[in-house]
Chains A and B, each alone.
Chain A
Amino acid sequence: MAYDYESRIRPGKLPHIWCPGCGHGIVMKGLIRAMDTLSLKKEETAIVSGIGCASRLPGYMDCCTLHTAHGRAAAFATGVKLARPEMNVILVGGDGDGTAIGGNHFIHACRRNIDMTYIIMNNYIYGMTGGQFSPATPTGHKASTTPYGNPDPAFDIVKLAIGAGATFVARGTAYHANQIDKLIAEAIQHKGFSVVEILDDCPTTYGRRNKYKSVVEMMNRLKDVAVPVKAAEKMSAEQLEGKILTGVLHKVERPEYCDEYAKVIERAGGNK
């Protein structure tokens, strides 16, 4: 039977505002399937976002949602989680929101290892504000503010998250739609700060400037560059040139922030 996505969407909110062919809708479907897999109750799930195209996602979801200041999703979500540690807190945002404007909050949320899941939809650009380059825009690619090519090297969001101390880091793509829900479900189940980077397409502000003729061409590019992490083990360095690893790339156990904070309260003689 057809999948029932509507039960997790606020009535009357569709159609969404995303452009034709934007992969954010595919990621939203993946998130809904992951929430169904884990049977998350809408009263016990909070989706927090900053500002941007991807950050519009909580507006459509029928659960506890918070649409906050640009880049500050992690800061607000930390507050939600500390006040209500039993809540499942999911953050969504784009590459610009998460790693440039919210870069500071992002790395410190990783460092604290607070039990939240951050879904970063990386479409390589600031879409909503008119296609300015972001820290994830690849070197040489064009954006509205770099019409002759971007001179900066791009962030590898996965390595950034691992370096900052996130305990679960995974990467998927909008092309591999049936993998998204599994990665997100595993990330939500992990106790600690989980980062799921989903490579996405922005046909309107990124694709047009970088000579992608269609949405389908952008999707096929994601198919061509993605290599599952298990398949990559058998490949040589030359074969992996220009490829992007997908799957669960990092998973370790470390004390979680809310638990540690509860111990601090106990040591200080609180809750009496």
Chain B
Amino acid sequence: MSEEKKLPRIEIIEKYCKGCYICVEFCPKKVLEMKGFVVSVKDLGACIKCMQCELRCPDFAIKVHAE
């Protein structure tokens, strides 16, 4: 179990998201996708916890909880 990659938790505050695509495009591993006008997590296993989405989101809508 300890050998396995520990997955982060990506918290999306949907009422803050305005669907600008910044996080979707600047994620180097394409973890996120747009569902309607709100971002959602597509492939959590690919996340490398680089925090680019959290850093760049202009709307305070994404938080990456990783240890």
Q: Which residues of A contact B (CB under 8 A)?
A: 1-3, 5-6, 9, 14-16, 18-26, 29, 177-178, 203, 214-216, 219
Contacts and interface: CB of A to CB of B under 8 A. Distances in A.
Contacts, number: 62
Kindly state the interface size class of chain B when it binds its partner.
20 to 34
B21 A215 contact: yes
Contact of A15 (B16, B21, B22, B63): B16
B66 interface: yes
A204 to B, nearest CB: 11
Nearest to B11: A2
Contacts of B26: 216, 219
Contact of B59 (A1, A9, A16, A178): A16
A25 B67 contact: no
B56 A177 contact: yes
A215 B23 CA distance: 11
B54 A2 contact: yes
Given A15-B59, A178-B55, A21 B20 contact: yes
26 contacts: A1-B65, A1-B67, A2-B54, A6-B60, A14-B16, A14-B59, A15-B15, A15-B16, A15-B18, A15-B60, A16-B59, A18-B58, A19-B18, A20-B18, A21-B18, A22-B58, A23-B58, A25-B58, A25-B59, A26-B56, A29-B58, A29-B60, A178-B55, A215-B20, A216-B22, A219-B22
A21 B57 CA distance: 8
Nearest to B52: A177
A24 B59 contact: no
B54 to A, nearest CB: 6
A24 B59 CA distance: 9
B33 to A, nearest CB: 14
A5 B20 contact: no
B26 to A, nearest CB: 8
A73 B28 CA distance: 40
Contacts of A5: 60
Contacts of B25: 216
Contacts of A26: 56, 58
A265 B46 CA distance: 64
B41 interface: no
Given A20-B20, A21-B22, A2 B64 contact: yes
B21 A216 contact: yes
Contacts of B58: 18, 21-26, 29
A19 B20 CA distance: 9
Nearest to B25: A216
Contacts of B20: 20-21, 203, 215
Nearest to B15: A15
Contacts of B61: 15
Interface in B23-67: 25-26, 54-61, 63-67
